[in-house]
Amino acid sequence: PQALDADQVARAVVESVAENTSDAVVGALVWGAAAGVPGLLGFRAVNTLDAMVGHRSPRHRRYGWASARLDDLAGWPGARLTAVLAAAAGDDPRGALRSWRADAERHPSPNAGPVEASFAGALGVRLGGTLSYAGRVEHRPVLNGAGRPVAVPDIERAVRLSRRVGLLALGVCAAARLLAAGGRS
């Protein structure tokens, strides 16, 4: 963090807000709608396990891959819903969809790619590129290359977008749950 300037920290925060909107909010709501409280808790357990041991480190090499793949599978529907809702709720829906289509698959994560690309396009900013992750430098694909560099005020814009996405996801998931329950009566 000492080597990062304020705008680089802001970029990391915006990327984190986007990914955590999917992992901590929308994904949990999707699984709650699909399978009730057990689904919600199960999804959060899988996501937390991945965060704790789903790394390619010598310590977790033999089993971390399993939690990472399970998290990829469990997070897939929530990530796509997050990307769609970010496009719908963002300042530039076309830019969000364009960035998602063009850039998401180049991201190393099958779920963070669509979400971060959609947020980047919706906010009109450029995410990705060279970053420091877990003490090493990584070169990741640029998401929304036509966007401007992230600045500190974009943190608040990303948080506002995250809140809108969360509220829309709550509405979508509650409606889906109610429709599913109505079909059982």
Quick: pLDDT tens for 129-176: 987 766 778 888 999 999 999 999 999 999 999 999 999 999 999 999
Spatial distance between the Cα atoms of 130 and 141, rounded to a whole number of angstroms: 8
**Is 81 part of any domain?**
yes
Distance CA 49, CA 55 (A): 10
122 within some domain = yes
Q: Give the C-alpha separation, 83 to 85, whole Å.
A: 6
Looking at residue 61, its pLDDT comes to: 75
Domain presence at residue 72:
yes
Q: Which domain holds residue 141?
A: 6-182
Q: Is residue 178 part of a domain?
A: yes
- The average pLDDT across 60-72 equals 87
Q: What is the pLDDT of residue 134?
A: 64
pLDDT classification of 63: cutoffs 50, 70, 90? confident
pLDDT(185) > 70: no
The whole-angstrom separation of Cα 43 and Cα 151 is 33
Task: Name the pTM for this structure.
Answer: 0.93
Q: What percent of the chain has pLDDT over 70?
A: 96
Mean pLDDT of 70-89: 98
Band of pLDDT at residue 58, cut at 50, 70 and 90: confident
Give residue 2's pLDDT.
59
**153 domain residue, yes or no:** yes
Give how many domains the chain has, as a whole number: 1
How many angstroms separate the CA atoms of 108 and 141, rounded? 9
